[in-house]
Structure 1
Amino acid sequence: MARMPRFLLTHRQTTYHVISRTALDGYPLGDQEKSLLLGIIQNLSAVYFCQVLGFCLMGNHFHLLVTMLPENEITDQEVQASFQQRYGDEYTLMPGQIPFYRQKWTSLSEYVKEIKQTFTRVYNKKRGRKGTFWAERFKSLIVEKGETLINCLAYIDLNPIRANLVDKPEDYRWSSLGYRFRSHRKDTFLSWNLGLEEYNVDSSKERLRLYREFVYARGGIDTGKGKVLEGVPLPECVERFIQRTRFFTEAGIIGSREFVRQGFEHFRDLIQPKRERRPHKIQGLEQTYSLKRLT
């Protein structure tokens, strides 16, 4: 049976939650491997036209929350700058090549494929092995900016807590929250473009404080600052949130009812449904709906 084509919106900025698992037994991504993978993601994110919002590198899989920019927003000069970033002075970009690279470097599929292929090539060379490292093709789902996006980001940053790897999410150095806390970098690797007004403040320290408190509330982590979130006792909130996290990995589209409905209409010809599909309400996440992934 042919695989269902991936849900991709190439005509506008679109945020995707990407998940990819290894094909090897156990937990082949140790500290060195995670450092290698993170470096590859950082390097390629400086070439591709994207904004990385979050990530988490675990022992046998990784999460990436990334916004891809559409071709029509990218100028010839920006393509030339990315080419220089990627190849340096070794090669010259010809004018006729610009459309090819503009399309390639705005493609989610090309972006993730190059991350995985680059990692596999270096990993295999270091270990004198051949063969694949990654399992089946990566999963991706479209995430609406705003409340849905920050919930998805919190889900990603809480992975080390669920796996009992650390007591506090910022202590895990291979996640976006840990990266922000440990580095205090002023680089442009991670974006705060979440679509929420409260994160538009100038102070990066204030943005980080707001987000950390949100993650602690969602994860049920004791901050010593009260036990109530939106009128619901914290343990119940946490349980409901954890129970619904599968929607952040298994849905095809997730967001408000209208966002999901519009997504369904956009992909109607691709899906070719036998019946009308309605947005599915996600209990425990206010005003959040999903379109179930089809196989």
Structure 2
Amino acid sequence: MADIRTTSIEADCFYHIYNRGINGENIFKSDRNYLFFLNKMSEFLISVCDVYAYCLMPNHFHLLVKIKSDFELGSLVKVQNPDKAAETTPLGLHSLKNIFSKQFAEIFNSYSQAFNKENKRHGALIESPFKRKLITSDEYLINLIIYIHQNPEKYAVTDQFSKYNFSSYQSILSNSKTLLKRDEVIKLFDNKQNFILSHQKTIDFDAEF
């Protein structure tokens, strides 16, 4: 079985991205922390992937993303590195295979610096490299969305996961503007009513950490 920390990130594929604080320590201590992390996701991730679901927990987080196409990623590489515009497959940190990891590193570094400064701490905050699992079936994709949204209840952060403010559940059901792939998620469940009903069954994957 491939190492979940070194699995290659490929274009046009779905991945479960998850990680936790060093030694299981909390990485979010206030609403401001959660909102700052979400802002960094918007800043660095939307250019390289589509976000289908997320949940930020006190000491870990889960994301369900679909990596953009080679064409879209290639355009991003050229924008970020105009000197490589003539190259179709730049190597190293700027390669198509590494561009997602590079953007994620930007999130971690920016967030960790702010968190450490706020909490007067030093050193690494989040485990590295981040964990990732390739999603290979629609059934797994649907169950993963439910699992991600049920995390706050699973870990007793709240007694109603549907009320949790730092997951994508409420955003998917709302009509407010969002960067989430809301329509695509609802389509997976056929409609909003079935989305809600499907979340009433408990999904309990093996321990992720």
TM bucket (normalised to shorter chain) is 0.7 to 0.9
Mapping of 1:8-19 within 5 angstroms?
Answer: 8-10=8-10, 12-19=11-18
Indicate if the aligned counterparts of 1:14 and 1:68 stay in contact, CA closer than 8 A: yes
Which residue number in structure 2 is paired with residue 184 of structure 1?
A: 175
Aligned position for 2:104: 112
TM-aligned CA distance change 1:126 to 1:24, over 3 Å: farther
| Paired residue type of 1:131 | G
Q: Aligned partner of 1:60: which letter?
A: N
1:123 Cα offset (Å): 1.5
1:44 aligns with 2:44: yes
After the TM superposition, which of the residue ranges 145-154 and 67-76 deviates more from structure 2? 67-76
SS in 2 for 1:189: coil
**Deviation of the 1:212 alpha carbon:** 1.8
TM-score by length of 1: 0.58
Q: Does 1:94 align with 2:86?
A: no
Q: Which has the higher contact order (CA 8 A, sep 6+)?
A: 2
> How many pairs are equivalent?
202
Match of 1:275 in 2: none
CA distance in 2, matches of 1:23, 1:107: 24
One-letter amino acid of the structure 2 residue matched with residue 114 of structure 1: E
Residues in 2 aligned to 1:114 and 1:145: alpha-carbon distance in whole angstroms: 30
Q: Give the match for residue 210 of structure 1.
A: 194
Q: Distance in 2 between matches of 1:67 and 1:55?
A: 12
* Kept in 2: contact 1:26–1:60 (CA 8 A): yes
Shift of 1:246: 1.1
Tell me by how many angstroms 1:28 deviates: 4.0
SS of structure 1 residue aligned to 2:61: strand
Deviation at 1:125, TM superposition (A): 2.9
Letter in 1 for 2:176: R
Aligned equivalents of 2:118, 2:71: Cα separation in 1: 40
| Paired position in structure 1 for 2:124 | 132
Gaps in structure 2 of 5+ consecutive residues: none
Q: 1:186 to 1:27 in 2, by over 3 A?
A: same
Q: Which shows bigger deviation, 122-131 or 62-71?
A: 122-131
Tell me the alpha carbon deviations over residues 97-118 of structure 1, each in whole angstroms, 9 at most, x when there is no partner.
5855973597332232222112
SS of residue matched to 1:19:
strand
Task: Indicate how the Cα distance of structure 1 residues 34 and 25 shifts in structure 2: closer, same or farther if over 3 A, else same.
Answer: same
1:164 positional shift: 2.2
TM-score, structure 2 normalization: 0.78
What is the percentage of aligned positions where both structures have the same residue?
Answer: 21
Query: Are residues 195 and 141 of structure 1, via their aligned partners in 2, closer, same or farther at CA, if it must alter by over 3 Å?
Result: farther
CA distance in 2 between counterparts of 1:39 and 1:102 reads 23
Deviations 1:200-219 (A, max 9, x none): xxxxxxx4332121112x23
Q: Deviations over 1:168-210 (max 9, x none)?
A: 32200111103334x63223334443596654xxxxxxx4332
Q: Distance in 1 between matches of 2:175 and 2:119?
A: 33
Larger Rg: 1
The answer to whether the 8 A contact 1:22-1:60 is kept is yes
Change beyond 3 A, Cα 1:65–1:211: same
Distance 1:13 1:62 in 2: 22
Please give the root-mean-square deviation of Cα atoms over the aligned residues, in Å. 3.2
Query: For 1:1-295, what aligned pairs fall within 5 Å after superposition?
Result: 6-10=6-10, 12-23=11-22, 26-30=25-29, 31-46=31-46, 48-74=47-73, 76=75, 94=82, 96-97=84-85, 103=95, 107-181=99-173, 184-193=175-184, 199=190, 207-216=191-200, 218-219=201-202, 241-242=203-204, 245-246=205-206, 249=208
Query: Mean alpha-carbon deviation: is it higher for 51-60 or for 140-149?
Result: 140-149
Q: Which sections of structure 1, spanning at least 5 residues, go unmatched?
A: 84-92, 200-206, 220-240, 251-295
Q: Which residue identity lines up with residue 117 of structure 1 in the other structure?
A: N
